[in-house]
């Protein structure tokens, strides 16, 4: 029996590549030098696309695969998949929620601690001899007891807020409506108002057309010169031009960022700043979580081709 043909948009860890190749006939798009010609050659026989959240599948790729039935996303974000094109043709879409939630929340809190306490600079202070020659490291800011805002109280936002409780922080959140599961946290409908009452603002929204640049000049300005912005969601949720300008001018105190427009080729202005903590989009980057994500990608593919319900459908 012929194995279903799938298009693999980007590489996965070896522990995912091997079982994927056993179960399916895999066309490795990311290895093709001439991607347009490659897609024209293999696209007519492709029944599923296995992609990553940041890579997605655009309309051109979808249209090049007339037999396409399913797009399985390795990641919780699916904003890079053209959902309109999928709806037009009845193509199913899946992602990998839940399995990465806690690791993403962990990294967000770790970035807050690291940047607030100056840990990267402090390590350099020790290693370059400054501690011995210049004395104590410059004082930084505490975390415990301060005000935290969570923009988007979904799975990840909820886990972030739970962790912040351990620091006795004053927690508030914004979402489309108050959440019954968060009775002890303050609901603030307006993101600008949330930023104004926060020392730390966590961006944990799912990305969509409605949330694009929701963190813009007004929100950033309201957070202010003593505030910290932490983004563990998607780059499109933040207006990077407004963010860079605010960081350069002191309108915003600092930012801890795991995602960027055009990554991995981020805007070089970020590299000149000493009030940012930059991470390489690895909030879900633990061995345990990545294995679970890969398994869920395969489980969705296998379920579809077996005629069973999809474990984690988006469409």
Q: Active-site residues: which are they?
A: 234, 263, 281
Under DSSP, the state recorded for 3 is P
Q: Is 7 exposed, middle or buried (0-12, 13-18, 19+ CB in 10 A)?
A: buried
State both tokens at 95: 């992602």
Query: 3-state class of 228 per DSSP?
Result: strand
How far from 84 is each of 60, 89, 92, 163, 238, CA to CA, in Å? 12, 9, 11, 36, 23
Count of beta carbons in the 10 Å neighbourhood of residue 209: 7
Count of beta carbons in the 10 Å neighbourhood of residue 54: 18
- Taken in order 96, 99, 101, 106, is the CA torsion positive or negative? negative
């Amino acid at each position: 029996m012929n194995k279903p043909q799938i298009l693999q948009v980007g590489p996965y860890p070896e522990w995912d590549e091997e079982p994927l190749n056993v179960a399916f006939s895999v066309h490795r798009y990311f290895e093709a030098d001439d991607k347009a010609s490659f897609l024209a050659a293999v696209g007519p026989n492709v029944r599923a696309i296995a992609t990553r959240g940041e890579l997605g599948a655009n309309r051109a790729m979808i249209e090049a695969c007339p037999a396409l039935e399913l797009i399985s996303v390795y990641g919780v974000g699916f904003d890079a998949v053209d959902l309109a094109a999928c709806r037009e043709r009845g193509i199913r879409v899946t992602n990998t929620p839940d399995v990465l939630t806690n690791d993403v929340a962990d990294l967000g809190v770790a970035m807050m601690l690291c940047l607030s306490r100056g840990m990267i600079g402090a390590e350099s202070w020790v290693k370059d001899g400054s501690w011995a020659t210049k004395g104590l490291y410059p004082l930084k800011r505490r975390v415990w007891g301060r005000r935290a805002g969570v923009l988007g109280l979904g799975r990840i936002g909820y886990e972030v807020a739970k962790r912040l409780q351990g620091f006795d922080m004053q927690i508030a959140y914004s979402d489309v409506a108050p959440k019954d599961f968060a009775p002890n946290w303050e609901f603030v409908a307006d993101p600008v108002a949330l930023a104004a009452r926060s020392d730390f603002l966590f961006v944990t929204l799912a990305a969509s057309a409605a949330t694009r640049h929701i963190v813009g000049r007004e929100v950033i300005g309201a957070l202010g010169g003593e505030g910290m912005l932490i983004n563990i969601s998607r780059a499109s949720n933040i207006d990077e031009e407004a963010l860079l300008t605010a960081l350069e001018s002191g309108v915003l105190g600092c930012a801890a960022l795991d995602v960027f427009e055009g990554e991995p080729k981020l805007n070089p202005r970020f590299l000149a700043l000493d009030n940012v903590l930059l991470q390489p989009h690895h909030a879900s980057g633990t061995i345990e979580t990545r294995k679970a994500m890969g398994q869920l990608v395969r489980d969705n593919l296998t379920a579809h081709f077996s005629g069973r319900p999809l474990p984690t459908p988006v469409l």
